[in-house]
Structure formats: structure tokens, C-alpha cells
Structure 1
Amino acid sequence: MNHRQILDAALRNQPAHRSRYLNLVADGVERDSRFADRTHLLYPVLARAAGTVEPMLDPVEFVDMLADFLDRHGAAIGAALYDRSYLKSPDRALARPATLLSGWISARILDGLQSGRYQAPADRTYSFRSGDGAIDRPLRGFPFHEEDATGD
């Protein structure tokens, strides 16, 4: 089976700029030997997360990040794919790994923005949040410092 078809089908519903970007990433994956026997794990998760991918990372960097992601989480993704629940509800079965991948992507983008490697487009506003809406106490005043939150 050509597992890339799973990603290609998901990209039909994405904006053109995101589809072009993820096709570049997928082309890089196809040429990279680290994915030779693992695209069946990668493409369903990437397809599920496609709507959350912001095309900011260099495609080569994105492919490297995907290789690291599969090294760490490939077994869990395989367990989700081969579980019976995947047959009934693929989106639900892959929600957790897709959310995790989206978090990795967001963290990499935030690191790049902070270091100055990337510049956020002026015509966009970004919002990052936790999946469950929980906010740790130290971050409650973000982006303000504690003294700013109290009016000092």
C-alpha cells in the first residue's frame, strides 16, 4: 500500500499553502532512508495533525523532527493503529499522537521565534494553548510578570 495516499487525502481539505508545504515535507520523507519501513506509522498521524501544522519550519528541519518523533513514539503509534478502535474511529484513535505531534511542532516554532530564526507573519495572530485548557499557576499571568499582574 502507498501510505502517502492517507496524507494526500487529508491535504485536499487544507489551504493551498499548507498542502504545498506538507507535500514538500512528504517528498523529503520519501527520500529519507530513516522512514523506509515506517511511513505506515507516520502518514496517518501527520494526516490527522495536518490542520494544526503551521508552515514555518524549514521542510528539512521538519523531516528531522519527524524522525525524532517516530523514534520516541513509533511504538505507541503502532499500538494505536493496530488497535481495534482504529477500525471504528481512526480520528479518535490517532487523536493523542496527533496532538503530541502538534505540540512538538508548536514547541519547535516557538523556540525558533524566540531565538530569532523565524519571524511571525505580520498578517497572522498565533494562539497556543494546552489541549485540556489547564494553566499552571506560574503561567496564569502570562505574558506579564508577577509584579505586573499585581499592579506594581
Structure 2
Amino acid sequence: MNHRQILDAALRSQPAPRSRYLNLVADRVERDGRFADRTHLLYPVLARAAGTVEPMLEPVEFVDLLAEFLAHHGAAIGAALYDRAYLKDPDRALAGPASLLSGWISARILDGLQSGRYRPPDDRTYRFHSDNGDMDGALRGFPFHEDDAAAD
């Protein structure tokens, strides 16, 4: 089976810049020996995470990040793919690994923004949130934490 078809199908519903970017990344993955026997693990997770990928990293850096991600989490991805739950609901079965991959990508981008290697596009606004909207502890009231404490 050509596992890239899984990613290609997911990219059809993505905005053109993101789709072009992820196709460049996939082309590099196809030529990279580190993925020779692991694309069956990578493409389903990357397809599930495609909607969260910001095309800011250089494709070479992105491929390196993917290789590192698979080195750390390949066994868990394999377990999710070969679990019976994947047959019933692939999106749900891969939600955890896809979320983890999105976190790795976001962390790398944030590091690059902080160090000045990347500049955010002028037409973008970024916001941060938790998955369930519950913000406890130091983040409660963010960005107005100091005002909330003073009012109490």
C-alpha cells in the first residue's frame, strides 16, 4: 500500500499554502532513508495533524523533527494503528499521537519565534487555549492574572 495516499487525501481539504508545504515535506520524507520502513506510521498521524501545521519551519527542519518524533513515539503510534479501535474510528484512535505531534511542531515554532529565526506572518493572530477550556492555577485569568489578584 502507498501510505502517502492517506496524507494526500487529507491535504485536499487544507488551504493551498499548507497543502503545498506538506507536499514538500512529504517529498523529502520519501527520499530520506530514516523513513524507509516507517512511512506507514508517519503519514496517518501527519494527515490527522495536518490542519494544525503552520508552514513556518524549513522543510528540512520539519523532516528532522518528524524523524525525532518517530524515534520517540513510533511504538505508541504503531500500537494505535494496530489497535481494533483504529478500524472503528481512525480519527479518534490517532487523536493522541496527532495532538502530540502538533505540540512538537508548535514548540519548535515558538522556540524559533523567541530566538528570532522566524517572524510570524503579519496577517496572523495566534491564541493559546487548553483542550477543555479549564485553566487552573497560574493561568487562571490569563492575561489578567495580576488584575484579578488585586481585585480579590
TM-score (norm 2): 0.92
CA-based RMSD of the aligned residues comes to: 1.7
Amino acid at match of 2:39: T
Q: CA offsets, 1:59-108, max 9 Å, x none?
A: 11110000111011100100000001111111111011001111111111
In the other structure, the counterpart of 2:36 is 36
TM-score (norm 1): 0.92
Q: CA offsets, 1:96-150, max 9 Å, x none?
A: 1001111111111111111111101111111222223333412335446x65664
In the other structure, the counterpart of 1:138 is 138
Amino acid at match of 2:17: H
Q: Which one is further off, 86-95 or 133-142?
A: 133-142
Identical amino acids, percent of aligned pairs: 81
In the other structure, the counterpart of 2:91 is 91
Between the aligned partners of 2:124 and 2:137, the Cα distance in structure 1 is 28
In the other structure, the counterpart of 2:124 is 124
Between the aligned partners of 1:23 and 1:9, the Cα distance in structure 2 is 11
In the other structure, the counterpart of 2:13 is 13
Q: Secondary structure at the match of 2:61?
A: helix
Between the aligned partners of 1:16 and 1:122, the Cα distance in structure 2 is 18
Between the aligned partners of 1:81 and 1:68, the Cα distance in structure 2 is 19
In the other structure, the counterpart of 2:61 is 61
Aligned positions, number: 151
Between the aligned partners of 2:101 and 2:25, the Cα distance in structure 1 is 14
- How far residue 15 of structure 1 moved from its aligned partner, in angstroms, is 0.5
In the other structure, the counterpart of 1:72 is 72
